[in-house]
Amino acid sequence: MFMKNFLAFVMTVLPIMNLASVEVQTEQYCEAVKMKDKRILISGAGIAGFTLAYWLKQRGFSPTIIERCPYERVGGYKVDVRGTALEVARRMGIYQELLEANVNLVRSKFVSSDHKVFAFDGDILGLSSEGEIEVNRWNLVQILSKKIGEGEIIYGDSIIKIDEKMVYFEKMEPREFDIVIGADGQYSNVRRLAFGEDSKFLRKYGIQFCVFPIPNIFELERCEIVYFDKGKLATAYAIRNHSYACLAFKSEDETLPFGNLKAVFEKQFQGLDWEIPHLISLMQESNDCYFNSIAQVRMPRWSKGRVALIGDAAHSVQGMGTSLAMVGAYILAREIEKSNGDHALAFDKYEKTMKEYVEVAQALAEANQQAFTESSVRMKFQLYLMKILPKKFTQYFIEKRRKQMKEVANGLILEPIPSCRLAAPERLTSRP
Ligand SMILES: Cc1cc2nc3c(=O)[nH]c(=O)nc-3n(C[C@H](O)[C@H](O)[C@H](O)COP(=O)(O)OP(=O)(O)OC[C@H]3O[C@@H](n4cnc5c(N)ncnc54)[C@H](O)[C@@H]3O)c2cc1C
């Protein structure tokens, strides 16, 4: 009886007593609803773009994605989800799926120019530590795109101009957007349009690479093979029914010429033996080659007006690009929501949160980069040391680098999230 009366009191009297505060809440609610009406355009349906779209949707927004490629762009080698990005994946409810897709290399084989093979336990090139996840890039793209569910994704178009109010496209009619996010990779189109030429921001290392799927010609399983000779690198790995190869060379030219990139790679690898001729012919036959060059994007600011950049577009970095893209997307969505319509504030907070984390990762990647690719002589010397030193010694140095990478990847702690914000377990489907 007491309980019944108490409930009646709560339901009738309390709302009257609280009228003033209800009004305030309604105002805030309206502000929040207005904010959720903000039209947000994301350029690029890659790791950063999909992750941002997911988190914006979770926070009640309805972003539009525009992707230059006419279809969902899969392809690529394995990529790492490390450190704080693992927490983002957990909060998205995709951790289990990622675990199932984990490439989890257990062995690495190095082949010297005289074809001697040196085998080591674990993933040496990827520097993956216990608990970190490496997945085929296509796997990650599919997991993310499936997760974002219904929404507007425009394939096969690209932004050509962004002015005060409108966004103009190659094919579509101009549309109004309140916020434009460049998640369109290392050579970001949005960055070029809003901030200027690539040369201002790209720190290039002159290493060109090409990734393509191959049949499992090396009969590998959860293993990566690495061949290095005359300044050229060939690697391949296989997991279950998927195998990929990567060819890389250092070139004095900072950028590859557009046009027939396959021919450029063929010429560069001419005269090398081992399985190189076979790999070259597989590359020539492949219709799924991904060409790129190793570079870092370094910018003083990642936003300008109503435009902001995330992922590789803002801060590409080797070995941690995917993880930083996921974390940055998560933080930006959080700040956009918290800012109550003030996107300048949101962008500012996003940059402040991410900047140091990114800079430390870029510094480490640059150091690792130099250690690995400085010169043929240095690489040969490293292989020679690996050959003559006890394996324990090599493992010790690799372990040290893994530890460093893990520390850096965990360098940003996310604030706790209310459990109602965690990913719902339902499976959502994305539009083709
Ligand atoms: C096909 C592919 C293969 C890759 N393979 C590797 C690899 O083997 N190893 C590796 O370390 N990294 C690879 N990467 C890069 C890696 O995915 C990123 O470094 C990292 O995951 C950060 O992701 P991101 O979303 O910032 O950029 P990305 O994953 O590069 O995604 C950018 C997206 O933007 C799209 N885009 C580009 N220009 C425009 C435009 N004008 N308008 C609209 N959309 C545009 C691209 O098609 C792409 O879908 C690959 C990227 C791609 C697109």
Q: How far is the CA of 185 from the centre of ligand 1 (A)?
A: 5
Helix axes 19-36, 2-17, angle to 10 degrees: 70
- Amino acid at position 404, single letter: Q
β-pair partners for 373: none
- Ligand 1 atom at minimum distance from 77 CA: 8
- Ligand 1 atom at minimum distance from 50 CA: 25
Ligand 1 contact, 312 CB (< 6 A): yes
Ligand 1 contact, 80 CB (< 6 A): no
User: Does 134 fall in a domain?
Assistant: yes
pLDDT per position as a tens digit, 177-220: 999 999 999 999 999 999 999 999 999 888 899 999 999 999 99
pLDDT per position as a tens digit, 52-81: 999 999 999 999 999 999 999 888 899 999
CATH of residue 186: 3.50.50.60
Q: How far is the CA of 158 from the centre of ligand 1 (A)?
A: 15
More confident residue, 17 or 272: 272
More confident residue, 357 or 389: 357
Q: How far is the CA of 321 from the centre of ligand 1 (A)?
A: 10
Helix (H, G, I), strand (E, B) or coil at 213: strand
Residue of the nearest CA to atom 14 in ligand 1?
A: 76
User: Does 121 fall in a domain?
Assistant: yes
Distance CA 27, CA 342 (A): 16
Ligand 1 contact, 172 CB (< 6 A): no
CB 338 within 8 A of CB 33: no
Read off the pLDDT of each residue in 305-333 and give the average, rounded to a whole number. 96
Distance CA 59, CA 338 (A): 10
Residue 7 has pLDDT above 80, yes or no: no
Token pair 């929404």 is at which residue?
151
- Would you state the pLDDT for residue 104? 85
More confident residue, 87 or 7: 87
User: Does 332 fall in a domain?
Assistant: yes
Residue 41 has pLDDT above 90, yes or no: yes
Residue positions counted in the chain: 432
Model confidence at 254, pLDDT cuts 50, 70, 90, reads: low
Ligand 1 contact, 167 CB (< 6 A): no
Q: How far is the CA of 120 from the centre of ligand 1 (A)?
A: 30
CA distances from 3 to 13, 15, 149, 401 (A): 15, 18, 44, 63
| Long-range CB contact pairs, 350-355, < 8 A, 24+ | 350/302, 350/303, 350/308, 351/301, 351/302, 351/303, 353/412, 354/302, 354/315, 354/324, 354/327, 354/328, 354/412
Ligand 1 contact, 311 CB (< 6 A): yes
Distance CA 43, CA 154 (A): 10
Helix (H, G, I), strand (E, B) or coil at 140: helix
User: Does 419 fall in a domain?
Assistant: no
Model confidence at 22, pLDDT cuts 50, 70, 90, reads: very low
Residue 25 has pLDDT above 80, yes or no: no
Give the mean pLDDT of the chain.
85
CB contact set of 400 (below 8 Å; sequence gap of 6+): none
Read off the pLDDT of each residue in 149-155 and give the average, rounded to a whole number. 93
Helix axes 276-285, 261-268, angle to 10 degrees: 180
How many domains are there within the chain? 1
What do you get for the CA distance between the two ends of the chain, in Å? Answer: 58
- Would you state the pLDDT for residue 130? 76
Distance CA 379, CA 367 (A): 15
CB 98 within 8 A of CB 79: no
**Minimum mean pLDDT among 7-21, 105-119, 308-322, 349-363: which range?**
7-21
Ligand 1 contact, 296 CB (< 6 A): no
Distance CA 77, CA 321 (A): 13
CA distances from 130 to 12, 186, 213, 410 (A): 57, 29, 27, 13
Half-sphere exposure of 97 (CA within 13 A, CB side): 18
Q: Rg (Cα) of the chain, in Å, rounded?
A: 24
Q: pTM (2 decimals)?
A: 0.87
User: Does 415 fall in a domain?
Assistant: no
Given the DSSP bridges, would you call strands 179-182 and 152-155 parallel, antiparallel or unpaired?
A: unpaired
Q: How far is the CA of 295 from the centre of ligand 1 (A)?
A: 13
Residue of the nearest CA to atom 9 in ligand 1?
A: 77
Read off the pLDDT of each residue in 324-338 and give the average, rounded to a whole number. 97
- Ligand 1 atom at minimum distance from 246 CA: 8
Model confidence at 31, pLDDT cuts 50, 70, 90, reads: low
User: Does 427 fall in a domain?
Assistant: no
Ligand 1 contact, 213 CB (< 6 A): no
Q: How far is the CA of 49 from the centre of ligand 1 (A)?
A: 10
Residue 369 has pLDDT above 90, yes or no: no
User: Does 138 fall in a domain?
Assistant: yes
- Would you state the pLDDT for residue 33? 54
CB contact set of 21 (below 8 Å; sequence gap of 6+): none
Model confidence at 375, pLDDT cuts 50, 70, 90, reads: low
- Would you state the pLDDT for residue 4? 41
Distance CA 351, CA 308 (A): 10
User: Does 420 fall in a domain?
Assistant: no
Domain that holds residue 85: 19-410
Distance CA 298, CA 355 (A): 10
- Would you state the pLDDT for residue 280? 97
Residue 370 has pLDDT above 70, yes or no: no
Residue 223 has pLDDT above 80, yes or no: yes
Q: How far is the CA of 167 from the centre of ligand 1 (A)?
A: 22
- Would you state the pLDDT for residue 429? 32
**Minimum mean pLDDT among 41-45, 116-120, 363-367: which range?**
116-120
- Amino acid at position 306, single letter: R
